[in-house]
Each structure stands twice: as structure tokens, then as C-alpha cells.
Structure 1
């Protein structure tokens, strides 16, 4: 029987998002591809340090103790030689990776389609933009983020912004064009009308299915962390109700900086479309930029 990924939550991740290859990447970025490959070969038996998304991946893979419900695939611009170090580093870290695609400098996002990925994490901004344009949830991992904490070993904790992430940027467009009062009036008048889904709705649905499948040892805890405030909060809540999804926590911060609130929630990862929110969050938690919506249009 041919293996299939159809019944699994599929995460595609670049090597720099999973492991700390920043020193090696500086050589690659200098234009010395051969030197980069040689360094990776020399360090083949030296496991790389954990990267920003490592905690998220390790915890998701823990759902596979009872059944194979999660698939993590390395999707990288690395060369196959460097790929050997990625797999060896994963084995040394105790996480099971079986599949990988290494494109040796070429954009890898096209392989998201046959993978049917629910999430793509990469440190390459252009690859993330292309993935989002192709309809896949994707985020640029801020490699300068702090690593996730260790206080919740049996919970996958994920925090999402609302507009342009879980939801479409319909309301954000009103805010950008007409200001706060028009935004609040717009959302109050449409409170009973669900928002269209944003780029990360498929991931939230996949996480919901994984949680519903049940696992005695692992669970998922989600949070909506948004700059919305009353009265615009109601439409966001009603939208999730319409999707038949409950988030565990919801924070309507009315424009307050999100970092300190996220530090209290302690997510394994946080997704936001606005760079100022992501940059501040990265001081406290692992964070990724979702280059979607009106705030990211050139």
C-alpha cells in the first residue's frame, strides 16, 4: 500500500526554523555555498542546537505515541549533504523525522502542494510569501526570538492574531482606510455575520481535529491574541462559534503591546501579521510573521 498523508496534520519546516544554523547560514549568505556545505559536512556528527520552532515540532510529534497523526517534513533550500546533518541532529534530539526535500538553493515552496501541508515555517521571507500566495498557512520564523519555555511539557500551546491570520483582513482594511471609529462601527453592525477565514484557518481546523481525536498524554491549548477591543470583540467570538471551534483563551487588548501577555501564556509559537507586534513578541516568545493582508502589501 502506498503511504499517504491525507489523514495527518502535516507541517513543513525549514532546517533553520527547526535548528540553530545561524553561524552556518552567515557563510551561505556571503555567497560561499561550497564553504557552507563543507562546514556542514565537518559538523556532521555534531548535533545542531535547537531552533525557534523546535519546541512546537517536538510536542506535535508527541501526538504520534498512540497513532501516526502528525507528519513533519523538512522543506529546505539546503543541499542534500547538509540534509544529512539535519536528520542526524533530529535523531540526537529524540525527534523522529522521516521525510525531507532539499532543493540546494532553489525555492522549495512548490512542494507544499503534494505534501498538502497545513503549515510551513521558514526563515526565508520570500518562500513564506510565495507559500501564502499559493494558499498555505505560512510564517517567517524570527530566528532572533527567545526559545519556548519548558513549563508545559504535555501541552502544545499556540497563539494566533485574529485579522489577516485566523480571519480575513476585511475589517483591517476598514481600519486602515477610515480609522478606529469606522472599524468599530463596521464590526458592530456586522457582529452576527461571521468573518471570512484567513490564511491560518486551515491550521486551526487541523489542530481542532487533532485535539478531537484524543490523546491521553498530550493536548493542545490555543489563544486568540488580538488588538481588537469591545465592541469589535463580538464578531471574532461569533466567527469561531460559527466554525464550531473554541479557543482556550482570548485576549482583546485594544492596541496594547502583546509581548507581556504572551509571556504569561507561554506559547510554543505565536503568529501575527504585523511586524511591530511580532518583533515585540519575539522578545518574550517564539514568534513568526504572517506576511498577509493589507498591512503587508507593498
Structure 2
């Protein structure tokens, strides 16, 4: 039988999102890839420090047990193959069972997401993330300066999502941007029973729902919706999730309050939002990523 990743949650992640390569990246961005390659080889025996998405990846991989392969993580990186040696060596150091990688030496790696059937792409490269989103893959640009996840929930993956333009389409956000808050509230109240169209991260949420239902003795999943919506616009969001038959554990309808301190209390392993101001607010407290989608997220 051919090897397949079917029925698994597939996370494609860049080396910079998984590990802290910010110091090395200054050499890479100077367009001196040979110097970068040499630097990584010099540090081959020095494990890289955990990066922004490290906690998320480590916990998701804990859903695999025995013969049950539920999650696959693949390194998809602009690094060269030689520098990839240190990436895999660092994975081994931390006990991350990551076996697959694609290294493109500066070329955009988004085109390999399709054969991987990726459910999520995480990268620090904005152009790569935008290309992935345009082609229908849930993708986010990690903020390397984000706070790291806490160790408070070792047996629980915690993921938080914004609503409009992330889980849902930007239909309602367009009304808000064009006509203001009052019209937005009227628009959403009048359509409370009409589900919102899906946003770019709905496929990921669906895949996570399967993990949540399966669970393992080692790891559980907890999700949160963290949105600027408030009553009465909250009802359409809740009813949309009900229509999708997707359960969210926590929902925060903040009515424009800064999200960072609320996320600090939820303590997610990762937070996704389309608006840079919310991502920056979150990044001071938790690992965060920008979803460059929708009218407000471009």
C-alpha cells in the first residue's frame, strides 16, 4: 500500500515558525545564503531554541499514539537542504517525531502544500502566507517576537480564533468598514438565523473538531472564539457554528476591547486574527499569527 497522509491533520510549518532562528535569519535576509548555510553548519550540534509555534506543534503531535497516526507535521521551508540538517537535529533534541521536510533554498514553498493536503501553514514569511491563503490553504504569518506559550496546560492544546475573516467570511466586516458599527449591528441582528459563509480557517476548525472528538489519554483540545463582536451581533456567530455542527469551548464577545489580556487568561498555544492591531495586542501575551485575509486583513 502506498504511504498516505489521508485522514490526518497535516501542519506545514517553516523552520522559523518552529524554532527561534531570528539571529541566523539576519544573515539569510542579507541575501548571503552560503554564509547562512555555513552558520547553521557551525551550530549543528547546538539545538535551536523553541520558536513561536513550538508548543502548538509539540502538543498536536501528542495526539499520535501507537498505531494511531492523527497528526503529521512537515517542515516546509525556504532554507537550503544543508541548513535543514540543523532543523531535523533540533527536532530530534526535543523529541519531536518530525520526519518529512521540503527545503527550497529561497524559493517560495507554498506550491508543496497541495500534495501534502495541508490543513495549516505557519510561516514567518508574509509573501508565502499570502500565496497560501490565495490558494485556499489556512495560513498565518507568525510573529517571531510573540510571547511563548505557558506550561500551565501540559495535556491540553489550546487554540483561539478571531471570527470575521478567519473562521467566517468577511461579509459582515465589509458592512462595518463601509457603514459603521450601528449598521453592522443591524445587519447582523437581521440575519441572526442565516449562517455566515465560511472563512479561510473553517477547514482547520473542522479538522480540529475531529481531533477534539477523538481525544487521547495524553492530550485534549480546547478552542476559543475571541471576537470584537458584541450582542446582538454575537448570535449570528454562535448560530453559524451550530449550523456547521462545530463546538467551541469558550467564546469572548469583547465589543472592541483589546484582546491581549483576555488571551493571556485563556493561555492559548496559538491565536489567529486577521487584523494586525489585534495580533500585536495578542503577541505581547501569547503566540500569535496574522491571517492576511478579508477587507481588514490585507
Cα distance in 2 between the residues matched to 1:266 and 1:14 = 23
| Superposed CA offset, 1:58-100 (max 9, x none) | 0000001241100000000000001010000000011110100
Q: Aligned residue for 1:272?
A: 273
Cα distance in 1 between the residues matched to 2:215 and 2:150 = 24
Residue 296 of structure 1 deviates from its aligned partner by: 2.9
Q: Aligned residue for 1:5?
A: 5
Residue 31 of structure 1 deviates from its aligned partner by: 1.8
User: Is residue 189 of structure 2 the alignment partner of residue 183 of structure 1?
Assistant: no
Q: Is the 8 A contact 2:215 2:221 kept in 1?
A: no
Residue 144 of structure 1 deviates from its aligned partner by: 0.4
Q: Output the TM-score relative to the length of structure 2.
A: 0.99
User: Is residue 17 of structure 2 the alignment partner of residue 23 of structure 1?
Assistant: no
User: Is residue 120 of structure 2 the alignment partner of residue 137 of structure 1?
Assistant: no
Cα distance in 1 between the residues matched to 2:297 and 2:231 = 25
Cα distance in 1 between the residues matched to 2:211 and 2:10 = 11
Residue 213 of structure 1 deviates from its aligned partner by: 2.1
User: Is residue 289 of structure 2 the alignment partner of residue 292 of structure 1?
Assistant: no
User: Is residue 45 of structure 2 the alignment partner of residue 45 of structure 1?
Assistant: yes
Q: Aligned residue for 2:100?
A: 99
Residue 45 of structure 1 deviates from its aligned partner by: 1.0
RMSD: 0.6
Cα distance in 1 between the residues matched to 2:69 and 2:297 = 36
Q: Aligned residue for 2:74?
A: 73
- How many residues are treated as equivalent by the alignment? 297
Residue 295 of structure 1 deviates from its aligned partner by: 1.0
Cα distance in 1 between the residues matched to 2:26 and 2:32 = 9
| Alignment map for 1:1-298 (pairs within 5 Å) | 1-66=1-66, 67-297=68-298
Moved more, 92-101 or 210-219: 210-219
Cα distance in 2 between the residues matched to 1:29 and 1:293 = 29
Cα distance in 2 between the residues matched to 1:102 and 1:95 = 18
Q: Is the 8 A contact 2:110 2:128 kept in 1?
A: yes
Specify the SS of the correspondent of 2:44: coil
Cα distance in 1 between the residues matched to 2:113 and 2:216 = 27
| Superposed CA offset, 1:166-215 (max 9, x none) | 00000000000000011000000000000011000000000001121231
| Superposed CA offset, 1:93-151 (max 9, x none) | 11110100000000000100000100000000000000000000000000000110000
Q: Output the TM-score relative to the length of structure 1.
A: 0.99
Cα distance in 2 between the residues matched to 1:83 and 1:32 = 16
Residue 221 of structure 1 deviates from its aligned partner by: 0.1
Unaligned 5+ segments in structure 2 are none
Unaligned 5+ segments in structure 1 are none
Cα distance in 2 between the residues matched to 1:284 and 1:213 = 30
Q: Which runs of 4+ in 1 moved over 3 A?
A: none
Cα distance in 1 between the residues matched to 2:202 and 2:84 = 31
Cα distance in 2 between the residues matched to 1:181 and 1:48 = 49
Cα distance in 1 between the residues matched to 2:50 and 2:215 = 28
Specify the SS of the correspondent of 1:212: helix
